[in-house]
Every structure is written in C-alpha cells, then in structure tokens.
C-alpha cells in the first residue's frame, strides 16, 4: 500500500508542476508586450524597420532617386561645417624599408617614423632601395576609438638622387 500512496503524491506533484509551468509560460508570454510610447509610434504599435521621411509634396519616394547630396561646405550635421581635412606634412629622411606588408619606416631628423601605405603606393615603395634618401608627404589620422593615438599615412614618396 505504501507504494500506491507514493505514486499518488508523485502524480500530484508532477501535475502541480505542470500547471505551475503552464501558468508561468502564459504570464511571461502575455507580459512581454511593450506598450511604451517612444516617440512617433502609436501606443501598442509595432515598428518593423527604418523610419523613412517622405517628401512633403507628394508623400511618395520615386524609385532610383537618391536623397539630395550634401553641399561641399556642409554635411548632415544640421548645417555644421565639415571637419577639416587632415593636413599634409612634408619631410625628408632615409628609407629603411618595409615593416610589414602595409607599413614602412623612414628615419628622419626627429627619429624613426612608421608610415602606413596604400596598395597604390606599395609598387612605388618597392622600387626604392633600402637606405635611399627620400622626400615624402604624409597625414596623421586618428585611430577610431583612440583619440590620443594617430597613424601616419603616406601620401607621396620619391627618391632624392
């Protein structure tokens, strides 16, 4: 007889657990509806995708028509002027050689300078022998996410003979 009472309690516990699980799942499914109003959306509405500003005149965007190009003096910063272009610096030194496949080293009067090179300049740099005297132009560009660190990018280089 003892076995049948344990089975009954076990069945009751399993049934109670199943009911509790079903109630919890139902409550979480019903409670997941976010109805906060975050701007232009109507309460309870679903926003699936980007917000598109339609033209005021017709309310229709024509296919294959892009948005107007920003002018040379301004960009999309509410009419603010574009940030200045990185200034080009000029220097002379002795070309040491490649550091790796995309950077070179030139020893100047101020010390060794590592410069990043583009694929276009790689062919030019390959034709310069090590320890050759060179004249070069470069820019300093900030590293994304690191405002205090800058990379030097080679713009132009030529061997001085």
- Predicted confidence at residue 30, as pLDDT, reads 62
C-alpha 134: how far from its chain's center? Answer: 36
CA distance 154 to 43: 55
The string of pLDDT tens digits covering residues 23-42 is 777 766 665 555 554 455 45
Phi-psi region of 59 (alpha: psi -120 to 50; beta: other; left: phi over 0): left
- pTM beyond cutoff 0.95: no
CA distance 76 to 111: 40
CA distance 113 to 90: 13
Sketch the domain layout of the chain as residue ranges.
88-159
- Location of structure tokens 């694929």: 119
> DSSP letter at 81?
B
The string of pLDDT tens digits covering residues 68-116 is 555 544 445 555 555 556 799 999 999 999 999 899 999 999 999 999 9
Average pLDDT of the chain, as a whole number: 75
**Contact (Cβ atoms closer than 8 angstroms) between residue 127 and residue 90:** no
With a pLDDT cut of 70, the percent of the chain lying above it is: 60
- 88-159 fold: OB fold (Dihydrolipoamide Acetyltransferase, E2P) (2.40.50)
């Amino acid at each position: 007889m003892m076995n049948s009472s344990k089975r009954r309690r076990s069945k009751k516990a399993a049934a109670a657990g199943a009911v509790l699980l079903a109630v919890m799942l139902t409550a979480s499914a019903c409670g997941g509806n976010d109805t906060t109003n975050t701007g232009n959306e109507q309460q309870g509405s679903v926003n699936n995708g980007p917000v598109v500003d339609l033209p005021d005149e017709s309310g229709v965007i024509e296919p294959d028509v892009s948005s107007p190009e920003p002018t040379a003096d301004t960009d999309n910063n509410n009419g603010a002027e574009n940030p200045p272009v990185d200034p080009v610096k000029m220097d002379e030194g002795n070309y040491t050689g490649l550091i790796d496949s995309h950077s070179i080293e030139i020893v100047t009067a101020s010390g060794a300078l590592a410069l990043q090179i583009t694929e276009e300049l790689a062919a030019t740099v390959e034709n310069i022998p090590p320890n050759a005297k060179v004249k070069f132009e470069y820019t300093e560009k900030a590293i994304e996410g690191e405002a205090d660190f800058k990379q030097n990018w080679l713009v132009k280089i030529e061997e001085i003979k």
